[in-house]
């Protein structure tokens, strides 16, 4: 299989350890096991003793009842049998696409998005059609363009909501239009929802599986749960054919998820509101810091993110984004992700969900850097 280099992951692998100010990180400030237990109201010593007695077997092949119920609780009308646990959202996306897409199919993917959504089907030999999101459209899908891209061979439309890297959020009315377009050609809609769950207020954030029977949601414990070290993700769908086929594929590439990952994820899901309250506070505070910085820095511009943990920030210097980001890291210790990793040149992705001190200092260093160029 010939597949393109995964630009974002290669960038992070190569440079993340060198950063003083890591603003390429996209998870909300990670929690410790101790902090998780405190948020859940557990006695730390007692829980750790019980964890020490956990047998390290395959255990529940399809996920523990507690895990499946916890994941199902993130949606409006999802039952445990609609849930397939995976090795992170990266495993979920890979499993869905490699299971459902063949070389004779075509697939529509938004751009920018996580590279899995277009490079994996390209590697299979499928015809991947790009729906470009633009600043002028607030990074929301242009429905007329989408209609022109689908036909009777379109097997899937894949979107990312909230969007990475822009922080845009597709509202229900546009989602319904996307679903109608998918229905017209009997296509699945795969929605990567790893940044879903924490609105600026406390409102429920809709999922594709709330709206469409052939909708497929992908989520994980990494971003809004602050638990990337727990390699737990999931596929959720009510479509029986997709469920069956993904279970068949799972026997080959997953078997089961780790029992410690299952236990910690189950605990976090049972106390999700406490974690979300913590993380909502971080996101709202840091989004305001980022917004103030953009408004006070004439060298940059962006569309204010309304969801997720990332923003796509354009700069007014004539320098390719990868060159700029390397120079910024080596001179100031600040790590961003080049827009080039998302096929969006002239911009950088900023992750703003780390601690506020790191965010403020990193942004100030970037301002210094831009004015010295």
pLDDT tens-digit map of 213-234: 999 999 999 999 999 999 999 9
Q: How far apart are CA 292 and CA 51, in angstroms?
A: 44
**CA neighbor of 212 nearest in space, from 246, 168, 170, 182:** 182
Alpha-carbon 258 to chain mean position: 21
- Dihedral angle sign, alpha carbons of residues 171, 121, 97, 212: positive
User: Which runs of consecutive H residues, i.e. helices, occur in the chain?
Assistant: 7-15, 33-39, 44-52, 65-72, 88-100, 116-124, 143-149, 172-184, 208-211, 240-253, 259-270, 272-296, 321-332, 356-372
What is the pLDDT, as a whole number, of residue 202?
Answer: 86
Q: Does domain 55-272 have CATH number 3.30.540.10?
A: no
- Provide CB contacts within 8 A for 200, sequence distance 6+: 280, 283, 284, 287, 306, 307
Q: Following CA atoms 87, 28, 75, 220 in sequence, which dihedral angle do they give, to the nearest 10 degrees? A: 0
Q: Domain locations in the chain?
A: 7-32+273-368, 55-272
Which percentage of the chain shows pLDDT scores above 70? 100
d(CA 335, CA 351): 10
CA atoms within 13 A on the CB side of 4: 14
What fold characterizes domain 7-32+273-368?
A: 3.90.1150
Rounded distance between C-alpha atoms, residue 67 and residue 70, angstroms = 5
Please state the rounded mean pLDDT for residues 154-176.
98
What residue has token string 């949606």? 75
In angstroms, how far is the first alpha carbon of the chain from the final one? 42
pTM equals: 0.97
Cα(135)–Cα(303) distance, integer angstroms? 7
58-84: pLDDT as tens digits: 989 999 999 999 999 999 999 999 999
Residues 178, 174: Cα–Cα separation, whole Å: 6
Q: What is the pLDDT of residues 96-137, one digit of tens each?
A: 999 999 999 999 999 999 999 999 999 999 999 999 999 999
């Amino acid at each position: 299989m010939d597949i393109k280099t995964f630009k974002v992951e290669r960038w992070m692998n190569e440079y993340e350890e060198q950063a003083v100010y890591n603003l390429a990180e996209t998870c909300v400030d990670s929690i410790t096991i101790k902090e998780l237990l405190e948020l859940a109201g557990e006695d730390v010593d007692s829980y750790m003793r019980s964890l020490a007695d956990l047998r390290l077997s395959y255990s529940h092949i399809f996920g523990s009842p507690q895990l499946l119920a916890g994941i199902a609780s993130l949606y409006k009308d999802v039952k445990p049998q609609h849930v397939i646990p995976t090795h992170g959202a990266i495993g979920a996306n890979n499993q869905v696409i490699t299971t459902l897409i063949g070389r004779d199919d075509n697939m529509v993917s938004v751009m920018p998005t996580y590279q899995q959504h277009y490079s994996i089907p390209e590697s299979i030999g499928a015809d991947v059609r790009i729906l470009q999101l633009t600043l002028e459209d607030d990074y929301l899908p242009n429905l007329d363009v989408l209609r022109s891209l689908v036909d009777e061979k379109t097997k899937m439309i894949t979107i990312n909501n909230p969007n990475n890297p822009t922080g845009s959020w597709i509202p229900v009315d546009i989602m319904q239009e996307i679903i109608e377009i998918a229905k017209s050609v009997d296509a699945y809609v795969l929605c990567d929802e790893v940044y879903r769950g924490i609105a600026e207020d406390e409102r429920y954030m809709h999922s594709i599986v709330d709206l469409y029977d052939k909708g497929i949601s992908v989520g994980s414990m990494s971003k809004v749960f602050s638990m990337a070290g727990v390699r737990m993700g999931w596929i959720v769908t009510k479509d029986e054919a997709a469920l069956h086929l993904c279970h068949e594929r799972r026997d080959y590439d997953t078997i089961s998820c780790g029992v410690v990952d299952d236990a910690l994820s189950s605990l976090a899901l049972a106390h999700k509101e406490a974690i979300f309250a913590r993380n909502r506070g971080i996101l709202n505070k840091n989004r305001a810091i980022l917004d103030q910085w953009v408004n006070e820095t004439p060298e940059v511009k962006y569309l204010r993110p309304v969801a997720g943990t990332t923003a796509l920030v354009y700069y007014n210097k004539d320098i390719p984004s990868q060159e700029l980001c390397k120079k910024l890291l080596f001179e100031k210790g600040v790590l961003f992700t080049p827009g080039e990793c998302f096929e969006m040149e002239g911009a950088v992705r900023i992750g703003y969900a780390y601690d506020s001190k790191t965010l403020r200092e990193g942004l100030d260093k970037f301002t210094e850097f831009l004015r010295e160029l």
